[in-house]
Amino acid sequence: QIKKIEDNTNRQVTYSKRRNGLFKKANELSVLCDATVSIVMISNSNKLHEFLTPGTTTTKEVYDKYQAAMGVDLWAKQYQKMQEELQKLNDINRGLQKDIRRRMGDCLEDLTYHELSSLKEEMVNSVKVIRERKAKKIENHIDTTEKKVRNCNEVHKSLLQAFDIPKDEPQYGLVDNGEYNHVLGYNDDSRILALRLQPCLMLVQDHV
């Protein structure tokens, strides 16, 4: 009795053996009878196996011969479906381009009053969203900058403590850029923080 083999392993073994036997018979038929044979097989695991008569370029060549012999067009329906899908995509693309131009102030002549009001409301809401996003970006930038400033202050304080320098001593200061001569430097994230000894001015009074 011919029925489905339930055991998966036995089913795969049987498929492999009979497939090879079928391909062997097809090859013998194509050689003995000079026939064009094409076999396409897909297993239950979606693996494709194909036999094509030696000397035949592609499977499509066999299908073309089939169409010529039967007087049918296998690709007409698929081509028509693809053309319809292409037309839908082109319509969507044209609609999107028109919407973009309207948001830039063009192609407004054919819009009714209600459509113009709706477009205006959409753009107002869009501007609101953009402003909120911009404000959030600025807020994040301010927070990041404040953290960097606090970090610099902490580094400055640590350096003052390390060299036992009073915090309010006027002749010592934190420098962030410029030329550094006679400095004690500290490297932090590619920025050079340095303590610079500023020259003290001495006033000399001439005594008469």
Q: Which long-range contacts (CB under 8 A, 24 or more apart) does 18-22 make?
A: 19/49, 22/51
What residue segments make up the domains of the chain, in order of their start?
A: 8-55, 111-160
Helix (H, G, I), strand (E, B) or coil at 132: helix
- Each residue's pLDDT expressed in tens, for the chain with a length of 208 residues: 788 888 889 999 999 999 999 999 999 999 999 888 999 999 888 899 999 988 877 888 888 888 888 888 888 888 889 999 999 999 999 999 988 888 888 888 888 889 888 888 988 999 999 999 999 999 999 999 999 999 999 999 888 888 875 555 555 454 544 444 444 444 444 444 444 444 444 444 444 3
How far apart, in Å, are the Cα atoms of 138 and each of 99, 133, 135, 146, 148? 30, 9, 5, 12, 15
pTM: 0.39
Q: CATH topology for 8-55?
A: SRF-like (3.40.1810)
Rounded to the nearest angstrom, the gap between the alpha carbon of residue 203 and the centroid of all alpha carbons in its chain is 68
